[in-house]
Amino acid sequence: MPRRSTKRYHHGDLRKALVEGALRLLETRSPAELSLRSVARLAGVSPNAPYRHFESKDALLAAVAEEGFRRLATVTAAAKGPPRKRLAQMGAAYVRFATENPRLYGLMFGPVLSGWERYEGLVAAGDASFAVVVEAVAAATNTDPKRASRDAILAWSAVHGYAMLAIDGHLGSCPAKELPPPEELVRIIDTR
Amino acid sequence: MPRRSTKRYHHGDLRKALVEGALRLLETRSPAELSLRSVARLAGVSPNAPYRHFESKDALLAAVAEEGFRRLATVTAAAKGPPRKRLAQMGAAYVRFATENPRLYGLMFGPVLSGWERYEGLVAAGDASFAVVVEAVAAATNTDPKRASRDAILAWSAVHGYAMLAIDGHLGSCPAKELPPPEELVRIIDTR
DNA sequence: ACCTGAACACCGTTCAAGT
DNA sequence: ACCTGAACACCGTTCAAGT
């Protein structure tokens, strides 16, 4: 019969606890401050216990970023309305996700995780979140797939750039009233 | 009469040597790999010699990023032609700078340098580089200054986002032929 | 199978001391 | 005024050992 004490030698689901702990730390601490040891401490395990579940710190960060892409895809896919309006709403939802989770978003796209190509789960989650944008752009412009893909890159660039500038505080000096609303970002695919 | 030996106790212009050394290291090493100690080693001084010239590692990185913004402003300001074409050229030159100096660009905008607002030289250089864009947008659209400023943010977002996606390799899976040329980014301010 | 403890090479930073 | 040397607390990672 298993001991029910709160401090057991075996954690139970340490992998999940580490990812969730890292996500919690990212709510208040910058990626640079997020050390593998601090995540282990938060989970109540020794400094190298994570190595039973992740081959390196980067592998843990990849799992965290992957969860970030899943959340982002959920948020953007939830945009409703007729195609043109839905796209604008999606852009706004995207920017909102980024500004509400600035450090997570920075981890997902920033130079913190350099070798992200090596983590296939992360690549798949990133592709899936991009697919949501491509689909919405295609629906809003009803053009051929190739053109839709190019337009999606333009739209994604605009939204991503706006989000990054906002997160890094480069838009902070402007009074909010003079900022273009994120919905305007889709103007990039308006002319044809 | 000063000793002409190559290894003198006093460096001469260590500050400049550190900034240039860091820029050199950024040509091949990621910002995460760029340690203060490695910059000191490259300059041939002890690990803490930099502290006579910079109060912290962040202060050195700020000086490096500042030089990056000066170079970026030089590159974008060099765009020629009639206003509309000049703006498109400027966008392309901007993206070229970012992709040719990916790690420097990442340092300038990424989350590596968290407290950049505290370095006024850096803020001034960043503002100056943005002013180039605002001026070009205003000339291309000849509208009121407030509108031009908002449009400049849109254009900057698109170009910045495209550059970031390209640097991080998120555009790498697309065949180059299907990528939108950077000149198209200015379409974001085309409709009115 | 999963975790701990001690150790290694590194890092940013500080302080006393050298020239 | 500018730099060195030794030290501190931290980090990612490894290896042997514990349960």
pLDDT tens-place string over residues A22-49? 999 999 999 889 999 999 999 999 999 9
Domains, chain A, in order of start with CATH, read: 9-54 (1.10.10.60), 65-191 (1.10.357.10)
Distance, in Å, from the CA atom of A120 to the CA atom of A113, rounded to the nearest integer, reads: 14
pLDDT beyond 70 at B1: no
Instruction: Give the residue among B118, B22, B115 at the shortest CA–CA distance from B67.
Output: B22
The tokens of B139 are what? 């000339």
The tokens of B124 are what? 């001034």
- The dihedral through the CA atoms of B112, B118, B119, B124 has a sign that is positive
Residue with tokens 């943010």: B153
Cβ of A156 within 8 Å of Cβ of B161? The answer is: yes
Query: Between A and B, how many residue pairs show a Cβ–Cβ distance under 8 A?
Result: 144
Between A12 and B180, the higher pLDDT residue:
B180
In a 13 Å sphere around the CA of A46, the CA atoms on its Cβ side amount to 7
Q: Gap from B170 CA to D13 C1', in Å?
A: 30
Distance, in Å, from the CA atom of A107 to the CA atom of A58, rounded to the nearest integer, reads: 11
Residues 146-165 of B with CB under 7 A from strand D: none
Q: What per-residue confidence (pLDDT) applies to A115? A: 84
B7 CB closer than 7 A to any strand C atom = no
pTM reported for the whole predicted model: 0.92
B148: confidence class by pLDDT, cuts 50, 70, 90: confident
DSSP per-residue codes, A141-158: H---HHHHHHHHHHHHHH
Query: DSSP state, A190?
Result: T
B77 CB closer than 7 A to any strand D atom = no
B192: confidence class by pLDDT, cuts 50, 70, 90: very low
The tokens of B35 are what? 């340690």
- The dihedral through the CA atoms of A36, A37, A40, A41 has a sign that is negative
* Polymer length in residues for chain B: 192
Tens digit of each residue's pLDDT (9 = 90 or more) over B24-67: 999 999 988 999 999 999 999 999 999 999 999 999 999 999 99
Chain A residues near residue B147 by CB distance under 8 angstroms: none
Distance, in Å, from the CA atom of B51 to the CA atom of B28, rounded to the nearest integer, reads: 24
pLDDT beyond 90 at A77: yes
Q: What per-residue confidence (pLDDT) applies to A147? A: 86
Tens digit of each residue's pLDDT (9 = 90 or more) over A132-171: 999 999 999 888 888 888 999 999 999 999 999 999 888 8
Q: What per-residue confidence (pLDDT) applies to A112? A: 74
B32 CB closer than 7 A to any strand C atom = no
